[in-house]
Structure 1
Amino acid sequence: MTKVATTVLTVTAACSGLAWTAVSLTGNSIDPKPPVSCAYTPTTKVKSASIPPFNAKKAARPYTAELVTNRGTVTFEALTEEAPCATNSFSFLARKGYFDGSKCHRVTTRGIFVLDCGDPKGEGTADPGYFFKDENLTGAEYPAGTVAMSKVVPGRNGSQFFISYADPQFRMSSEWTPFGRITGGLDVVREIARNGTRDGSTDGRPKKAVVIKSVTVRQEAADAPGKSSG
């Protein structure tokens, strides 16, 4: 083989190596996406059955949730792919009847427009016995119809959540995990807000009590229906 031919082969091989490296760097690798893992950390001494089990495949199944309240019914589509830890937790609590009989404890009517729920004590301070970290925060926004985790301590999500019934008057910082999108009943939440707060302020307890009677979770898979007790 001539020296020229050898040089050509060497350059070709080098270029092929660079091309493969470029493909790898641009994300067109054949390596599979790492599996999602969710950690639920106990906040009190609770039984293991009180902590949500997590199976990535099952948690990814789309589902809708129906919240039946004394003011009307609200439904939302769970963002299971974007926020699997939050949606898995919500489904787990709903199936246990955790939300049944609880009161939504806060409504805001200026700046941000949200209804806060998810604390069985109706105080906005309780947790379900565990917490989990934030997710789905990159570029997160909270327009009308958003369902997102509500929390008192940064990075510690539990059972509390809020529903945005109108677009905020300013850009909210991306601090609360969005995990659902309202598909029905947003008018119910808007009516609750129109009634105002108990003390007449723009941020307080709803003037007319809002009680969650039941929460039903319906998954697309035929073998995984779910309904909260009560």
Structure 2
Amino acid sequence: TLGNGTGGPGYTFEDELKNGHKYEVGVVAMANAGPNTNGSQFFIGSGKDVEGLENVPKYTIFGKVVGGMDVVQKIASTKVKKHPQTGELSVPEQPIKINTVTITEK
């Protein structure tokens, strides 16, 4: 990846949609451009709207935030500007960088 939220790893892998996880606040899932196009981008569900994804699952869930949701909410509340290619209001006005993550396997 380019380290700025764009690009990808140069490969894709298949969806893993029926893995027993639910779309809920704090979920960590693969972002994609359609079926079986998972790469290196991900998103963290930060609001109740993520629960609506349960109706048409298309994002592979691989984790859940169990501590630090206050940080996720702070990131989610930052001001955004239009994406230069899609026109969506989705690009943070100021760069956001996650410096550390702790992964705990259950």
Shared fold (TM-score greater than 0.5)? Answer: yes
Q: What is the TM-score of this pair, normalised by structure 2?
A: 0.72
* More helix, by proportion: 1
**5+ residue gaps, structure 1:** 1-118, 221-230
RCO (CA 8 Å, sep 6+): is it higher in 1 or 2? 1
> Quick one: which of 47, 50, 68 aligns to 1:185?
68
> Which stretch shifts more, 138-147 or 179-188?
138-147
* More strand, by proportion: 1
Report the secondary structure of 2:66's partner residue.
strand
Partner of residue 9, structure 2: 128
Partner of residue 207, structure 1: 93
C-alpha contact (below 8 Å) 1:197/1:207 kept by paired residues:
yes
1:167 counterpart letter in structure 2? K
Matched length:
100
Partner of residue 147, structure 1: 28
Provide Cα deviations, 1:15-55, integer angstroms capped at 9, x if missing partner.
Answer: xxxxxxxxxxxxxxxxxxxxxxxxxxxxxxxxxxxxxxxxx
Equivalence map 1:54-93=2 (5 Å): none
Instruction: Report the RMSD for the aligned CA atoms in angstroms.
Output: 2.9
Larger Rg: 1
Report the secondary structure of 1:130's partner residue.
coil
**5+ residue gaps, structure 2:** none
Question: Cα distance, 1:212 vs. partner?
Answer: 2.9
Report the secondary structure of 1:189's partner residue.
helix
Partner of residue 8, structure 1: none
Report the secondary structure of 1:162's partner residue.
strand
